[in-house]
Amino acid sequence: MGDNLKQKTLDALTWTTVDRFGQQSVQFIIGLILARLLSPDDYGLFGLVTIFAALSFVLIESGFGQALIRKKDANDTDFNSVFYFNIFVSALLYFILYFSTPAIANFFKQPQLIYIGRVIFISILFNAFYLVPFTKMVKVMNFKTVAKVNLSATILSGSCGVVLAFMHFGVWALVTQQVSFHFFRMIAYYNFVRWRPKRIFSFSVIREFWSFSIHILGTSLLNVVFNNIYILILGKFYQKKEVGYYTYANKLSETFNFTFQQILLGSTFSMFSQIQDDDERFKRVFREFSKKISIITLPVMTVLIAVAYPFIIVLLTNKWAASVPYFQLLCMASLFNPFYSLNMSALNARGNSRGTFIIETIKKSLILLSVFVCFHFGIISLLWGYVIACFISYLISTIYLKREIKIYIKHQIIDILPSLFFGIVIALAAFSLSFILSNLHVLLLCQFFLVIIMYWFIVRKFQPELYKQAIDFIIDKTNTLKKK
């Protein structure tokens, strides 16, 4: 990488990592408190309406954010046109959803969803107001501001949720947390970014972006629908307690998996877009990212699978024990998600949004096929089908990437296989302690220290260059902070 781009990318990765790990750490702690205070039924009710909010967020953004980032000479007309488009779509969607909540409640046979939905959907309006300021920050790779906004909103909204949970408001604690997060995010972006819309709008801008963004929109819609397909199935055919178990297990697995994906999609897309026309440089940077990401993500996810039982029982109590196998299978399905996301980010940066849409369509078709095949065998079988569909989809994405920039499957295997092997070794060592120690609190503590020691030893012994880079990076950032 060139020195300027390399430094901007390192800064972007640093602040994206601070943002995601900081935000997810706060959410994790708040989530533990809420899970102890609330019941699986509360999470079940909350999960049943979040899919409609998630779909709305995607429709509002419509892929125009990435189109703005990718356009090198985006101007005021572009930003303002997208802003007013977002506002119009959000108002239309809220109107539709407000009057659709009785039908949603009737579908799931949960009358409370009428009021819960109408309040949660207010977050759609808040979301529309801050999408353009957020995009402006990402475009210039100002992830420091993004990190400040996200952390502020997460802490404030989480605090609101915890207070209401202590006051025995049940599911409304989760509703308040969701709505206030987007409200505080909106306020913070306008405070930090200080961007104000102008009275400019052009339909030609929307038409210009549409050819690229339509595929991004289609991909995102497929993601939302199929990421929540199990909630729809469980909500319709199972008790809401089962929905709650799945919802929290999914939320817990995403605390780790989603963090890595957002770091990738948030920082790498901007960086890949800047070098999209230099094939050799693109390939070199891509493989460098793959190697460094694998040594973090693969050990983390394999270890979580191994220590899932003491982890959930100790932190959340026995009332969440039924979510353990759900959590393990969701972590297993997420093993290769960071690399799948990296492949998709690379394809989008090269302008091949049509290719990513096709890949996502294939992935969702595989998930749908697994649902039809496994539905009658229960929830565990459904999730095993999901694991298989995710793995096959990753392999398909590598085939498309090979066509685009000649990075072959063997290259990705070479880049990530050592880290996967190390992760499995560490996970097996941690799991073996369960045959020796019966006290779950002691077991989890011993597993934690064993994992840290083994991981430190393996990275230092087998990845000395990466270890040195990490140490130098930490020292450099520490010295910089001291000078400030």
Q: What is the pLDDT of residue 35?
A: 85
Mean pLDDT of the chain: 81
pLDDT one-digit tens code per residue, 14-35: 656 666 667 777 888 888 888 8
pLDDT of residue 288: 77
Task: Confirm if 125 and 249 have CB atoms less than 8 A apart.
Answer: no
437 versus 257: which is more confidently predicted? Answer: 437
Calculate what percentage of the chain has a pLDDT beyond 90. 23
- Of the pLDDT bands very low, low, confident and very high (cuts 50, 70, 90), residue 140 is low
Q: What is the mean pLDDT of residues 73-93?
A: 85
Q: By percentage, how much of the chain surpasses pLDDT 70? A: 83
More confident residue, 172 or 243: 172
Between these two residues, 58 and 93, which has the higher pLDDT value?
A: 93
- How does pLDDT run across 392-430, given as a tens digit for each residue? 999 888 888 777 676 667 777 887 888 899 999 999 999
Q: Where are the domains of the chain?
A: 1-255, 275-484
Rounded mean pLDDT, 327-352: 84
pLDDT score, position 433: 94
Kindly tell me the sign of the dihedral angle through the C-alpha atoms of 247, 248, 250, 254: positive
In this prediction, residue 464 has a pLDDT band, given cuts at 50, 70 and 90, of confident
**Structure confidence at residue 180 (pLDDT):** 94
Residue 4 has pLDDT above 70, yes or no: no
- pLDDT value at residue 1: 46
In whole angstroms, give the CA distance from residue 205 to residue 200: 11
DSSP string, 107-146: HHT-TTHHHHHHHHTHHHHHHHHHHHHHHHHHHTT-HHHH
Q: Rounded to the nearest 5 degrees, what angle is found at the Cα of 312, between the Cα atoms of 149 and 33? A: 45
188 and 180 Cβ atoms separated by less than 8 Å: no
pLDDT (tens digit per residue) in 266-280: 556 666 666 666 667
The 8-class DSSP code of residue 347 comes to: H
List pLDDT tens digits, range 284-302: 777 777 777 888 888 989 9
Question: Which of the pair, 89 or 226, is modelled with greater confidence?
Answer: 89
pLDDT at 11 over 70: no
Backbone φ and ψ of 408, nearest 5°? -85, 165
Mean pLDDT, residues 432-460: 91
Place of tokens 């392999």: 395
More confident residue, 346 or 256: 346
- pLDDT above 90 (res 342): no
In the predicted structure, residue 451 carries a pLDDT above the cut 90: yes
Spatial distance between the Cα atoms of 92 and 221, rounded to a whole number of angstroms: 17
Distance, CA of 440 to CA of 422 (rounded, Å): 25
Cα(351)–Cα(215) distance, integer angstroms: 10
Q: What is the structure's pLDDT at 229? A: 77
